[in-house]
Amino acid sequence: MTTLEAFARAKAEGRAALIPYLTAGFPSREGFLQAVKEVLPYADLLEIGLPYSDPLGDGPVIQRASEEALRKGMSVQGVLELFREVRALTEKPLFLMTYLNPVLAWGPERFFSLFKQAGATGLILPDLPPDEDPSLVRLAQEIGLETVFLLAPTSTDRRVETVVGYATGFIYAVSVTGVTGERERLPDEVRDLVRRIKARTSLPVAVGFGVSGRETAAQAAVADGVVVGSALVRALEGGRPLAPLLEEIRQGLMQKEPA
Amino acid sequence: MLRLPDFPLPDPRGRFGPYGGRYVPETLIPALEEVEAAYREAKKDPAFLAELEYYLKTFAGRPTPLYHARRLSEYWGGAQVYLKREDLLHTGAHKINNTLGQALLARRMGKKRVIAETGAGQHGVSVATVAALFGLECVVYMGEEDVRRQALNVFRMKLLGAEVRPVAAGSRTLKDATNEAIRDWLTHVRTTFYILGSVVGPHPYPMMVREFQSVIGEEVKGQSLELFGRYPDALIAAVGGGSNAIGLFAPFAYLPEKERPRLIGVEAAGEGLSTGRHAASIGAGKRGVLHGSYMYLLYDHDGQITPAHSVSAGLDYPGVGPEHSYYADQGIAEYAGVTDEEALEGFKLLARLEGIIPALESAHAIAHAAKVVPEMDKDQIVVINLSGRGDKDVTEVMRLLGGEL
């Protein structure tokens, strides 16, 4: 299933697409695979994080999960294996989220090719503004990976214009100024950001950061998709089942706030 | 009148050759563009420069002397050794050159809140000091491990009215404090100015910090012409992130090769490069991205950053600024390593022979000079950047030496 098809299917059902995020290797290798099985029935696309030592775009929940996964021995090789196993479970689009340095350490061509072969649909590198290294973006695209970039409430119209020019797959709209993590409510400017992005691209737009339950999901559902990360990872941390949370969020996606 | 010099690099995209750049989450890009525009404007504004000069002179204590270390020169029996006395500045190190500049810029941009990262606490104390001076709200991030080791500096910052936030993530040291400061900035980007302490981080920081610190090298130029009628033969400085070394080197680095002194940066080799417990990013690192900049770094086969180690907390950083990375590749400067043990010898030597207790960072430069100076001629001139004073390190050195001398 392509990314566009995944978004289109959700739209046909009258809701925004649900994109769960899970940190590879957290709470353990097996625990992660179990979590994938729990989220897949609800997921339209799936985002999998390769844990990194210095995740400066992430809040405390994902920081702790990344540290724990690394402590338990998760590695680039290990994440590649997990991608292959998840790919065997589903046809849905799978996005790799990590930071730039692991890519550089393995060599971009080798890194991108291996993840493509392991079943990745695309990648999200929060510390790579695309215009910093256009040739790296082109390389990923030539290898067949979609390149998703972030835009933030602080992004000027000129930035939006620049960044959408490099994006394939979808656009990741950050709902808040800040790091990943649950919020009680999303700022109203998220609606404006989504509007400003959609005025400049036909790609689907997904809102992420801060989605914690029904209300925030409904707020985020002004976009074509909603990413849920920290709330899921925190549930895993507490050993709680994921289905009730996903159920609640899915309901939020159905009753989006009036535009 | 003070001038913030122009240099041929970085290019408009913030690159020193391949190094530098702006590898940060998108939220920060507009803020970095704003800081850069404000800085470029301030740098040309005589009122800004006059105010910076006023505070450098009356508050920080510039210019600092270029002191002839006669006994040390005699002891080594080679070149004449001069010390650039940054240790005499207010707050005890070169850091204030930069924090004054950035705090004035923050004020000019209308930001009422400043944040900073600190390792040993020298940069933190310096930021807390200028925040008090200009009435700015100040939050300093410091790794839990460093909070424990540097209790005195934590208290100093609190005395100066700053809030110190311990960071429990990762290795609980400078790298993690920097991550947390960046996260704070991501969250409060509209109201907050990030005062970064070294020539690292995303563009324009490596450029801006260099220019505020280049007052060191500019003074050395003038003082050398006055004292010797020429430039020194060699300049030696310790390198962690690299701000004191860039401050000394940059005004000389872009001279034609024939006129350029030998530039020697000294990295912390910790317990030895072969042990893996060191902070020698150029000596033993690879190119990569951390804290927004492409530079030499310490990381493992998967790109995970590996903790740095040095007896000197100020050198305890797993990367080295993009401009140093460029100098190293181009052969503009050479980089050497000095172990903890050698640095302690340098520390004791300067105290005994010159009556100056250096910071452990600067002691690395002294220790390397001990290898270089004896090989030089008596009429040659070496300038060592004495970037900070050692009061902050006395307790730690006493512990390391077991109270015995």
The pLDDT assigned to B404 comes to 75
* pTM of this prediction exceeds 0.95: yes
* Phi–psi pair at A97, nearest 5 degrees: -115, 120
Reduced 3-state DSSP string for A63-130 = HHHHHHHHHCCCCHHHHHHHHHHHHHHCCCCEEEECCHHHHHHHCHHHHHHHHHHCCCCEEECCCCCH
Task: Check pLDDT > 80 for residue B74.
Answer: yes
Residues of B within an 8 Å Cβ radius of A = 21-31, 169-170, 175-176, 179, 182-183, 186-190, 286-292, 297, 299-305
Tell me which residue in B23, B24, B183 faces A179 most closely, judged by beta carbons. Answer: B183
Do A51 and A78 form a contact (C-beta atoms < 8 A)? no
The pLDDT assigned to A218 comes to 93
Task: Check pLDDT > 80 for residue B330.
Answer: yes
B1 band by pLDDT with thresholds 50, 70 and 90: confident
Cα B206 from Cα A12, distance rounded (Å): 50
| Mean residue pLDDT across chain A | 96
CB atoms within 10 A of CB B260: 16
A71 band by pLDDT with thresholds 50, 70 and 90: very high
Cα B340 from Cα B367, distance rounded (Å): 10
Please state the rounded mean pLDDT for residues A134-149.
98
Task: Check pLDDT > 70 for residue A256.
Answer: no
For residue A60, which residues of chain B lie inside 8 Å, CB to CB?
A: 169
Least confident of A16-30, A174-188, B106-120: A174-188
A257 band by pLDDT with thresholds 50, 70 and 90: low
Q: Which residues of A are catalytic?
A: 47, 58
B173 band by pLDDT with thresholds 50, 70 and 90: confident
**Across the interface, do B288 and A101 touch by the CB < 8 Å criterion?**
yes
Q: Which of A100, A127, A148, A157 is the best substitution to test chain B (most B C-beta atoms within 10 A)?
A: A127
Please state the rounded mean pLDDT for residues A75-89.
98
Please state the rounded mean pLDDT for residues B92-103.
98
ipTM score: 0.96
Q: Count how many residues are written for chain B.
A: 405
Please state the rounded mean pLDDT for residues B66-92.
98
A255 band by pLDDT with thresholds 50, 70 and 90: confident
B149 band by pLDDT with thresholds 50, 70 and 90: confident
Running DSSP on this structure, what letter comes out for residue A256? P
| Mean residue pLDDT across chain B | 96
Do A241 and A38 form a contact (C-beta atoms < 8 A)? yes
The pLDDT assigned to A173 comes to 97
The pLDDT assigned to A258 comes to 54
Tell me which residue in A105, A154, A179 faces B30 most closely, judged by beta carbons. Answer: A154
What share of chain B has pLDDT > 90, as a percent?
93
Please state the rounded mean pLDDT for residues B50-56.
98
* Phi–psi pair at B60, nearest 5 degrees: -90, -30
What's the pLDDT tens digit per position in B240-275?
Answer: 999 999 999 999 999 999 999 999 999 999 999 999
Task: Check pLDDT > 80 for residue B150.
Answer: yes
CA dihedral (A39, A45, A49, A50) in degrees, to 10, reads: 110
Please state the rounded mean pLDDT for residues B6-26.
97
What's the pLDDT tens digit per position in B281-304?
Answer: 999 999 999 999 999 999 999 999
Cα A36 from Cα A43, distance rounded (Å): 9
The pLDDT assigned to B313 comes to 86
Q: Which residues of B are catalytic?
A: 95, 117, 387
Task: Check pLDDT > 80 for residue A34.
Answer: yes
Residues of A within an 8 Å Cβ radius of B = 52-57, 59-60, 63, 67, 70, 75-76, 99-106, 126-129, 132-133, 149-156, 159, 163, 174, 177-179
B169 band by pLDDT with thresholds 50, 70 and 90: confident
Strands of the sheet containing B262-270, edge to edge, are B66-68, B80-85, B381-386, B234-239, B262-270, B334-339
What share of chain B has pLDDT > 70, as a percent?
100
